[in-house]
Amino acid sequence: MVGTAPRRRPVRRALRHAQHLPARGRHPAGRARHRAADLVGGATMSRALGAGRAVVGWWTRPVPLARVAVLRVAIYLFVLYDIFRLTNDVIPMAHAPELYYPTWVGRALPLPEPSLPLAHTLQIVIVVGCLVAATGLLPRLAGGVVAVAYFQWMVFSQGYGYVSHDHLALMVAVVVLPTIGRARFTDHDSSEAAGWAFRCIQVSVIATYFASAVVKWVRSGSPATWANGAVFIWAIIRRGSDLVRWTTDYPWLLIIAQWGLLIIEFLSPVVLWLKGKALYLAVVTFAGFHLMTYLALGIHFLPTVICWLAFLPLERLVPVGQRLLGRLRQRPPMPTSAV
């Protein structure tokens, strides 16, 4: 009919039908998938955070400050022994600076060339700094000075054709100990900063052995090639003592020893997770190995051995030392004879 309004029933029917349809992008299955994705993402994030906290906790596990005080004395006094007995070639070799060819570190960093005045200055600075740092006075300042001077000393020492990889852990110890700060023998607190420093020393100790096994593998082509070779026979013939020369008549025994050494070096990272008696057994095993090589070949590895102390509860030595000092103080004076 002309002049009548259009019918709206189909529109209303379409609207009523649309009310029963899910909103766009909000399908029930889609919502479930989104919830599942959120749960998986949240669980993954939680696991990642948990793993991160575990790693940080492993690196910064608190260490008693009394243990720091004991190790600090041992490390700084050993550095004095090192520069006068083990790496005492720095001053003599300074007479021939033309023979100096530093390692990569010495070439990459803008370090000075060796000279007699510089060598003597480094020696004096190391001696004074170690004595001050060992007493616990100005641990950050004195320790930092020792770290810089000893680093330069070692760059000079290793720049004449011989690199002693047994100094890795000792150099790391000298660098990280000043970061701890003040620590006394009578302290009963623990420190995460000390835990980080001790963990760095422990990792560097283990890296010395594991890296040695990797180098054997790389240079020989395979671990079996090195283990089945004549390395020990050659070493014994060249510098062996009477204690082990008889073993050259039994090559199979030396082959077994080479396999044992290689296995121990590859498994050395396990020590970082040992505790209690198992850890003490591992420390004794490695220390016994170095004692045996010293008696057999004259190779001591003392810079690494001293750093094994970072694995031990050194704070237990403090009461023992206090009792000994107490007995010495209580001892009556020696009677003087009448003239």
Per-residue pLDDT averaged across 167-191, rounded?
94
Residue 277 lies in a domain: yes
Using DSSP, how many helices (H) and how many strands (E) does the chain show?
A: 15, 2
Residue 325 lies in a domain: no
The amino acid sitting at 332 is: P
Can you tell me the distance from the alpha carbon of 199 to that of 172, in angstroms, rounded to the nearest whole number?
A: 11
Residue 159 lies in a domain: yes
Q: CA distances (Å), 94 to each of 81, 150, 160, 301, in order?
A: 20, 16, 10, 25
User: What is the domain extent for residue 211?
Assistant: 62-314
pLDDT tens by residue, 225-266:
999 999 999 999 999 999 999 999 999 999 999 999 999 999
Give the number of domains in the chain: 1
Can you tell me the distance from the alpha carbon of 82 to that of 303, in angstroms, rounded to the nearest whole number?
A: 8
Cβ atoms of 275 and 312 closer than 8 Å = no
Task: Find the angle CA(219)-CA(225)-CA(227) to the nearest 5 degrees.
Answer: 105
Residue 221 lies in a domain: yes
Residue 108 lies in a domain: yes
The amino acid sitting at 153 is: W
Q: How far apart are the first and last CA of the chain?
A: 153
Q: What is the pLDDT of residue 15?
A: 46
pLDDT tens by residue, 192-217:
999 999 999 999 999 999 999 999 99
Residue 98 lies in a domain: yes
Task: Please list, residue by residue across 169-201, b when 16 or more beta carbons sit within 10 angstroms of its beta carbon and e when fewer do.
Answer: bbbbbbbbbbbbeebebebeebbebbbbbbbbb
Residue 73 lies in a domain: yes
Q: What is the pLDDT of residue 183?
A: 93
pLDDT tens by residue, 60-116:
999 999 999 999 999 999 999 999 999 999 999 999 988 999 889 889 999 999 999
Residue 26 lies in a domain: no
